[in-house]
Chains A and B, each alone.
Chain A
Amino acid sequence: MLIAQNITKKFAGVTALNNVHLELHPGMVNAIIGENGAGKSTLMKILSGVHTDYEGSIIYNNETLKLAGTKDAEAKGIVIIHQELNLVPGLSITENIFLGRELCNAIGILDKREMTRAAKKLMEKVKLDVDAGTLVGDLKVGQQQLVEIAKALHTKASVIIMDEPTSAISDKEVDNLFVIVNELRNEGKTIVYISHKLKELFTIADRFVVMRDGCSIESGLMSEMTQDGLIRKMTGRAVSGTRENSSQVFTEPVLRVHNVNLKNTSRHASNVLTDISFTLHKGEIAGLYGLMGAGRTELMETLFGLHPKRATGDMYVNEQPVQIQSPIHAIKHGIALVPEDRKAHGLILDQKIKSNISITVLNQLEKWGIVLHNRKETNLSKAYIQQLGIKTHSENNIAGNLSGGNQQKIVLAKWLATNPRILLLDEPTRGIDINARFEIYNLMKKLAGEGMAILLVSSELPEILTASDRVLVMAEGRLTADMPVAEATESNVLKYAIQHNITA
């Protein structure tokens, strides 16, 4: 049993953890639940040796543990799988799994054959079906995560901390993950599972610990808890956010896409996108669902002009044919893209909130055609900070210091500043807490109400079904379904997402 006792951790005078008490049981999946900023990540960083200066004690199997660092934690059998994956993109899957603990033969030369063999075995266990020599950088996020899990399995850890493991993977992969987690639990390992997705916690977790504002609020058995009860404990109040599905009819087309194809980067492989056609109407929220690798992100990127050389097909904005060869053209035609990976593609983390929001509209913030109008810029960012409820003291704070939900709102703000007609949202709620999530749903509803056309890509089926007016489904680069949300159910959407051979 791993016990954290009276843990207090301060950052520059700000208390991140306040006298936290935690018991993690072996042979169980221990869920840590709380909003972003509740202190989960900090606590996990202490348990895994990332932070070594804190008050309180950690007791593991009746011994006080004083971790010197992550290596030390690993040696003691505690491994963390981070929300932001820690892999080297330029190395192969095998090399990543064995990074820092390479196998060598008698004379100290890398034993590649043995490592490949072991890697294949681990990959089989996590059901990752690619060549072990594939570069990690060439894998999709979901697959990279499986590599990360394989890596943890390889270290024979007895305590495995999973921070938002399902935030980026498809439902099928979640099922796969749960099978693995169940196996590990049955082997008597202590699983610590952090997730915002309550539904999956009820599927997988045995115990829960609720954290709020740096304190541990309550713990107990999952079976004795209800979803509403948990939400109340997390937020201190009940939240209702499901929207009654609209029966509105949308008639005014804003974006029409006809026979869009996207070639693969390697010439011999099949198309990434094949004959995609659909229409997005004014005021409509269309949810685009698909499993990992279905081509959703690629479709968004193509619409935004990121693949001008590989893409073919016709696009019409307000029924006018448009050529979108770059993001600059896309923006000119009123298209905005909130990308899937906000840290890699959405934000400049080291810069101020203000500079991040204004970057898309700097040309409108100039006086005399050359000098930036500082006051206008400040006012613009202040307006969005207020409108979107970005939690920060000042627009001059550094974007990278905010929580995931607030960062996502900054990305939204910078795109809303361009006054788009068409808003492409790629996984806008990935890795953000439940309150921020509902705020984003409400915002989408409001924007649609004002006439914006929204294309929402999500890996979470319930999100698609609650937030959209219409549901599009993709499978293996093709659009396999396009239906009003009233006709969509979890089972039929999933069916279209899996079976792509339905006649098109």
Chain B
Amino acid sequence: MIAIQKNNALNLARLQSLIAMVVLCIIIAIMSDKFLTMDNGWNVLRQISVNICISVGMTLIVLTAGIDLSVGSVLALCGAITAGLLKNGIKLPTLDLFIGFTLLGSLLAGIIAGGALGLFNGFVITKFKVPPFVSTLAMLTIARGLTMLWTQGHPISNLGPAFSTIGTGWMLGIPVPVWIAGVVVLLAIFITRQTRLGRYIYAIGGNENAAILSGISINKVKLIVYGIAGALAAVGGIMVTSRLDSAQPNAGTGYELDAIAAVVIGGTSLSGGKGSIGGTVMGAVIIGVLNNGLVLLNVSPFWQQVVKGAVILIAVIIDKGGKKK
């Protein structure tokens, strides 16, 4: 009986955030006639696609009771790597060597670089027992610095129409970024709910000691999870770069905070073991709708930040209230 009640509480918390979102939409729709248009709808979805990709990776990490502060910088670095390789290839004048990259090649290289940076995070965390907060904070700085080195501080622009399709194109009437985010979300839902890896992620966050005793290679799981998060940050980086047709050296600054906000609003516990991808998607949508609504309502950017922070607080407080009883 008690168990059933607890599950209900969890569902109730999610229902509450759904209601909050609907109320939010209604308020914005009343105040602005531009909000409920198809164009704006796609616009919102396109904008949140990047955050969804990052937040999904963040959710997996937070479920293991970890955190990744480096995703914003990794996003910038991988976007820049992709753009740089696509545009300039690799020139090694001393060896008189030039390696050119096709579109697919540069995309893969970017994503692999993201995965590798994530794996490095995981390696430091598992091998040297450095707390995730600290090790990914270090990576935040390192990856940003590498981005500056790679771009020499200048944007890499004019990447060609094929590349632009990723961020701005349409497929079957739906923006390409939304397709990408959708596939990422579905894959992540599949992993968390239907695979051994997913179970292990929840087990490690729920009780790491019990997980170790149960014969789970927790280091392997953590490596995979940080690797996935890095690769997803790279996907986000590619989308951002493509949309702007330019890799900005300071892209993605502060994105890790939006991702953590989406995870938290979505009801995933920062102490691990509890939460869901679906919740995070909801969290990302709430943040996206809020951003969009505040712009439509001509709220000053300074106030926008205040409001966003307040919403995060309210969402978490409501969520806590829902879970306690």
> Given A12-B2, A401-B6, is A372 in contact with B194 using a C-beta cutoff of 8 Å?
yes
Q: Of the candidates A12, A304, A328, which one forms a contact with B217 in the assembled complex, judged by CB atoms under 8 Å apart? A: A328
Q: How far is the CB of B90 from chain A (nearest CB, A)?
A: 36
In whole angstroms, how far apart are the Cα atoms of A327 and B273 in the complex?
21
In whole angstroms, how far apart are the Cα atoms of A396 and B24 in the complex?
34
Q: Would you call B1 and A348 a contact (CB within 8 A)? A: no
Asked if B308 CB lies within 8 Å of chain A CBs, one says no
Q: Would you call B3 and A337 a contact (CB within 8 A)? A: no
In whole angstroms, how far apart are the Cα atoms of A397 and B274 in the complex?
15
Q: Would you call B274 and A350 a contact (CB within 8 A)? A: yes
Residues of B within 8 A of A362 (CB): 196, 199-200
Q: Of the candidates B2, B199, B206, which one forms a contact with A372 in the assembled complex, judged by CB atoms under 8 Å apart? A: B199
Binds A, one of B174-182, B207-215, B287-295: B207-215
In the complex, how many residues of chain A place their beta carbon closer than 8 angstroms to a beta carbon of chain B?
37
Q: Would you call A372 and B209 a contact (CB within 8 A)? A: no
> Given A12-B1, A13-B1, A328-B217, is A345 in contact with B210 using a C-beta cutoff of 8 Å?
yes
Residues of A within 8 A of B203 (CB): 348, 351, 355, 359
Q: Would you call B5 and A372 a contact (CB within 8 A)? A: no
Main secondary structure of the interface of A (DSSP, over half): mixed
Residues of A within 8 A of B273 (CB): 348, 350-351
Interface string of B91-103 (1 = CB under 8 A from A): 0000000000000
Q: Which residue of B lies closest to A377 (CB)?
A: B199
Q: Would you call A366 and B196 a contact (CB within 8 A)? A: yes
> Given A366-B196, A372-B194, is A328 in contact with B215 using a C-beta cutoff of 8 Å?
yes
**Residue picked from B202, B207, B212, most chain A C-beta under 10 Å:** B207
Residues of B within 8 A of A13 (CB): 1
Asked if A39 CB lies within 8 Å of chain B CBs, one says no
Q: Of the candidates A12, A337, A358, A393, which one forms a contact with B5 in the assembled complex, judged by CB atoms under 8 Å apart? A: A12
Q: Which residue of B lies closest to A396 (CB)?
A: B3
Q: Would you call A304 and B213 a contact (CB within 8 A)? A: yes
Asked if A409 CB lies within 8 Å of chain B CBs, one says no
Residues of A within 8 A of B195 (CB): 366, 370-372
Q: Of the candidates A339, A351, A358, which one forms a contact with B206 in the assembled complex, judged by CB atoms under 8 Å apart? A: A351
> Given A328-B215, A363-B196, is A350 in contact with B3 using a C-beta cutoff of 8 Å?
no
Main secondary structure of the interface of B (DSSP, over half): helix
Asked if B216 CB lies within 8 Å of chain A CBs, one says yes
**Residue picked from B4, B200, B274, most chain A C-beta under 10 Å:** B4
Q: Which residue of A lies closest to B204 (CB)?
A: A348
Residues of A within 8 A of B213 (CB): 304, 306, 327, 337, 339, 345-346
Q: Of the candidates B7, B200, B207, which one forms a contact with A349 in the assembled complex, judged by CB atoms under 8 Å apart? A: B207
In whole angstroms, how far apart are the Cα atoms of A362 and B214 in the complex?
11
In whole angstroms, how far apart are the Cα atoms of A339 and B210 in the complex?
9
Q: How far is the CB of A16 from chain B (nearest CB, A)?
A: 10
Residues of B within 8 A of A351 (CB): 202-203, 206, 273
Residues of B within 8 A of A11 (CB): 1-2
Q: Would you call A360 and B215 a contact (CB within 8 A)? A: yes
Asked if A504 CB lies within 8 Å of chain B CBs, one says no
Residues of A within 8 A of B210 (CB): 344-348
Asked if A461 CB lies within 8 Å of chain B CBs, one says no
Asked if A488 CB lies within 8 Å of chain B CBs, one says no
Q: Which of B181-195 contact A (CB under 8 A)?
A: 194-195
Q: Of the candidates B196, B206, B212, B215, which one forms a contact with A350 in the assembled complex, judged by CB atoms under 8 Å apart? A: B206
In whole angstroms, how far apart are the Cα atoms of A464 and B210 in the complex?
26
Q: How far is the CB of A39 from chain B (nearest CB, A)?
A: 15
Asked if A120 CB lies within 8 Å of chain B CBs, one says no
Residues of A within 8 A of B214 (CB): 327, 359-360, 414
Residues of A within 8 A of B194 (CB): 371-372
Interface string of B1-40 (1 = CB under 8 A from A): 1111111000000000000000000000000000000000
Chain B residues within 8 Å of A, Cβ to Cβ: 1-7, 194-196, 199-200, 202-203, 206-207, 209-217, 273-274
**Besides A306-B213, A362-B200, A401-B2, 8 other A-B contacts (C-beta < 8 A):** A327-B215, A347-B210, A348-B202, A355-B199, A359-B203, A370-B195, A371-B194, A372-B194
Chain A residues within 8 Å of B, Cβ to Cβ: 11-14, 304, 306, 327-328, 330-331, 337, 339, 344-351, 355, 358-360, 362-363, 366, 370-372, 393-394, 396-398, 401, 414
- Of the A-B pairs whose beta carbons lie under 8 Å apart in the complex, a sample of 10, sorted by A's number, is A337-B213, A345-B213, A348-B210, A348-B273, A349-B206, A350-B273, A355-B202, A372-B195, A398-B3, A398-B6
5 A-B pairs with least C-beta separation: A348-B206, A397-B3, A331-B215, A362-B196, A348-B207
